[in-house]
Amino acid sequence: MVQAAKISDAEAICDLVNYYAERGRMLHRSLESIYASLRDFHVCRRDGLLAGCAALTISWGDLSEIRSLAVTPEQQKRGIGRKLVAHAVAEAKPLGLKRIFTLTYEPEFFARFGFGVIDKETLPTKVWRDCLHCPKADACDEVAMILEIE
């Protein structure tokens, strides 16, 4: 079951995201940034432990972003990633958001849910505020993808 994150999830979310960041599969997040955006996060738990997380962040206008989607190695391929994406889409609709984008190293995964590749340059400048602190800011190699919400 997908649930809103609690403050007690923050450290486990940070550890999970940074586990993949250290392996080049996601970008690093500080614990400070996780606390600041904790209300954007939803999680799946298994046996009381964090199994997966994702954040839906409002970017600009009707545009939002799925960030920090990660499932623990032990819990992958059990539908948790799918549930987290579906929950983010379901959360975006009643807010009136029309588009969800993501920056990812896993384009095939997001393509399964209708996300299409776009040119990063088409995203509004405001989106890049977090990139100012990224070591790859000038050489971003993530794929930008977007889902138009029906």
Ligand X SMILES: CC(C)(COP(=O)(O)OP(=O)(O)OC[C@H]1O[C@@H](n2cnc3c(N)ncnc32)[C@H](O)[C@@H]1OP(=O)(O)O)[C@@H](O)C(=O)NCCC(=O)NCCS
Where do contacts with ligand X occur on this chain (CB under 6 A)? 20, 25-26, 69-71, 76-82, 104-106, 108-109, 112
Say which residues have a Cβ less than 8 Å from residue 48's Cβ, sequence separation at least 6: none
Closest distance to ligand X from the beta carbon of 34 (Å):
15
Nearer to ligand X by Cβ, of 35 and 109: the residue is 109
Nearer to ligand X by Cβ, of 96 and 135: the residue is 135
Closest distance to ligand X from the beta carbon of 95 (Å):
21
Nearer to ligand X by Cβ, of 74 and 94: the residue is 74
Amino acid at 44: C
Closest distance to ligand X from the beta carbon of 49 (Å):
15
Say which residues have a Cβ less than 8 Å from residue 60's Cβ, sequence separation at least 6: 124, 126, 127
Of 94, 73, 71, give the one whose Cα is nearest residue 82.
71
Closest distance to ligand X from the beta carbon of 37 (Å):
15
β strands within the chain, DSSP E: 2-4, 41-46, 49-60, 63-71, 99-104, 116-117, 143-148
Length of the chain: 150
Nearer to ligand X by Cβ, of 10 and 17: the residue is 17
